Amino acid sequence: MSAPRRPRARVARSARFTRPLALLVACLAVVIPSRGDASPGLAGTRHLGLGGASRASARGTGAILVNPANLGFTRQFEIEPAYQANIESNTHGVGLLAMDSLLNERLALGLGYIATVGAPRVSYETEAGETQQIQLSHTGHEVSLPIAVNVALGWLAFGVRPKFQYSALRFQDIADKRHDARAEQTKFGLDLALTFSARQWVNVAVIGQNVAGQMVPATTLDLAPYSFDLTTLNRSRISPVSDYARTLSHGLAVFPTRKPTFSINFDGVYDFTSYRIGFETAEKYTRKLFAGGVEYSIRDVMPLRVGGFWDSRGRGKTDDRGYIAAGVGYFRAAAKGAVGFNLGVGFSRQITGPSPETLLAVSLGILVNPSR
């Protein structure tokens, strides 16, 4: 993330400093003790590739998803279609994001739409001991209008992200009649964000997601049309994490070369919804996530990303999860009166804990720089 009006420059290459440091932090990032994403279907390719540790250094359309305060820290107009898939739960997210910070150096605006479509399965045993499966339908829609204000140019920015959120989890019985496995939820949400930049060396960010509009997680499933022993129900592919949890996040990004093309990132997330709403009093717990990641851009055009995070989930250690992540991109700035590109691919894989999951994401940002 760079300050407004700061010219882009080549990353200084120092074999005795930048490369060894990048390698060291990349290795550490895999074991640092998120997934507190803004949307259940789309995290963003950069955020995913950095292991969920991109909040303080977020830029462009990626800032819409994780830190709206950063929209105005880079001067650009960008439109980005994006896609993400969770392989194991057969869940897909499609988004169209746009942002503009060219018209006013103190004000940046964005617009985002995200659709989530999933077909996870649960299984149970009949009285005869046979295993049966029920396919669910997980759908969601989100429309947001983020706004960022550069309170002090290059130093302090504030962001707000009002949004409309819809989430449903349904299934069809043997007569093809549709039922709600969890009550349908429609709410207006609000994210708040603040980012401080210290002379382009260090960025510190604090974000409150779903300050308004938190949604109840699927802690139980209403499968009334089916009759079976509930103790045999296997719902490992139905996440107990809320689609829109009320979270508090903090992010730290260090730029050793004072360029956005080389950053070391650390994030923390505290989820106050997923293991509090719908659980018994004795089991209420604040879910915690801690992430780390490194981004280094080759010749300022090919960013390489690596990271990882730890997810505490519920109380105790039996459901803790650890993830590794990686990503790559291609960036070509838009010259005056021309078009540029911001291509990204991200990958995340759970390596410890129950019910492993794999996420893949791809996006293509189109940068426009009008001649007038």
Residue 12 lies inside a defined structural domain of this protein: no
Question: Considering its fold, how many domains does the chain have in total?
Answer: 1
H or E element at residue 306: strand 302-311
Residue 50 lies inside a defined structural domain of this protein: yes
The domain spanning residue 188 has which CATH number? 2.40.160.60
Residue 107 lies inside a defined structural domain of this protein: yes
Residue 174: its pLDDT value, please?
Answer: 81
Residue 27: its pLDDT value, please?
Answer: 35
C-alpha 150, offset from chain centre: 23
Show the tokens assigned to 234. Answer: 């296997």
Among positive and negative, which fits the CA dihedral 227, 233, 236, 239?
positive
Q: What is this structure's pTM?
A: 0.86
Asked if 255 and 201 touch (Cβ cutoff 8 Å), the reply is yes
Spell out the per-residue pLDDT of the chain, length 372, in tens: 444 444 333 333 333 433 433 333 333 333 333 455 668 889 999 999 999 999 999 999 999 999 999 999 888 999 999 999 999 989 999 999 999 999 889 999 999 999 999 999 999 888 888 888 899 999 999 999 999 999 998 899 999 999 999 999 999 888 888 999 999 999 999 999 999 999 889 999 999 999 999 999 988 888 888 888 878 888 888 888 999 999 999 999 999 999 999 999 999 999 999 998 766 555 789 999 999 999 999 999 999 999 999 999 988 899 999 999 999 999 999 988 899 999 999 999 999 999 899 999 999 999 998 866
Phi, psi of 179 (to 5 degrees): -135, 155
Residue 190: its pLDDT value, please?
Answer: 97
C-alpha 371, offset from chain centre: 34
Which amino acid, residue 202?
V
Domain that holds residue 134: 18-368
Q: Give the strand pairing for 107-118 and 91-104.
A: antiparallel
Residue 359 lies inside a defined structural domain of this protein: yes
Residue 136: its pLDDT value, please?
Answer: 92
H or E element at residue 23: helix 18-29
Q: Which residue, among 83, 92, 90, 86, has the nearest Cα to 44 in the 3D structure?
A: 83
Residue 8 lies inside a defined structural domain of this protein: no
Asked if 69 and 348 touch (Cβ cutoff 8 Å), the reply is no
Residue 231 lies inside a defined structural domain of this protein: yes
Residue where the block lists tokens 């001991």: 129
Residue 36: its pLDDT value, please?
Answer: 52
H or E element at residue 289: strand 287-298
Show the tokens assigned to 67. Answer: 């830190």
Residue 320 lies inside a defined structural domain of this protein: yes
Residue 231: its pLDDT value, please?
Answer: 82
| Rounded distance between C-alpha atoms, residue 150 and residue 98, angstroms | 19
Residue 204 lies inside a defined structural domain of this protein: yes
